[in-house]
Structure 1
Amino acid sequence: MTDNAPRQAIALTYDGQQAPTVSAKGDDELAEAILAMAREYEVPIYENAELVKLLARLELGDSIPEALYRTIAEIIAFAWNLKGKSPQGFDPSPAPLERDITPGG
């Protein structure tokens, strides 16, 4: 079975203040150029065809829809983690386990 669907790529920009926005999108050759630029600048690439289909409906400069906030936030957090980054004020150390100090607990 062959897949003749065009290759698509969507680039998002996130400033840490506003919702991520679509900064580039394209099919086939333009998609390959977007991916090449991401590789050149060591931008993590996340592949998900269904998510690309949803984001491809947006215009350049559009903010992602609220329904995708959690999904995109998880991808951004993963990408930041790969690059050793974290949001300002974030403490990456694990929270201490709570202990039950009641009698018999």
Structure 2
Amino acid sequence: MARKHRIPEAAALRYEEGHESAPVVVASGKGVLAERIVEIAREAQIPVVEDAALVSALLALELGEEIPPELYQAVARVLVFVYDLDRKSEVLKR
């Protein structure tokens, strides 16, 4: 049986605690655009987290739109992961 080729998908979020009530979609796309979003994130040393179900939900949102409450838990898991990476990185720099 032939394996289906999956088209890359990506979304980027911004969350400024104290300035925004919820994370906001700042980039999203499929195919070449998704690959570019990931490339830019990696060049800027922004962590990239793979979660196919979450990215599919984020792609349904408009740019600049806050995530809806039903995505809070999934996005919170990503943010905790990223914050943990940042803390570990700071400890290693000392």
Q: TM-score range by the shorter chain?
A: 0.7 to 0.9
Unaligned runs of 5+ in 2: 89-94
Alpha-carbon contact 2:9-2:29 (below 8 Å) kept:
yes
CA distance in 2, matches of 1:70, 1:50: 13
What is the aligned residue count? 85
> Given the alignment of the two structures, is residue 84 of structure 1 paired with residue 87 of structure 2, yes or no?
yes
CA distance in 1, matches of 2:5, 2:60: 20
Deviation, structure 1 residue 23: 0.2
More helix by proportion, 1 or 2? Answer: 2
- Structure 1, unmatched stretches of 5+, are 86-105
- Comparing both chains, which one has the higher relative contact order based on Cα–Cα distances under 8 Å and sequence gaps of 6 or more? 2
Determine the structure 2 residue equivalent to 1:30.
33
**Distance in structure 2 (CA, Å) of the matches to 1:74 and 1:35:** 19
Instruction: Pick the structure with greater CA Rg.
Output: 1
- Corresponding residue SS for 1:38: helix
**1:76 Cα deviation (Å)?**
0.5
Q: How far 1:56 sits from its partner (Å)?
A: 0.6
Counterpart CA distance in 2 for 1:52 and 1:20 is 14
* TM-score, length-scaled by structure 2: 0.83
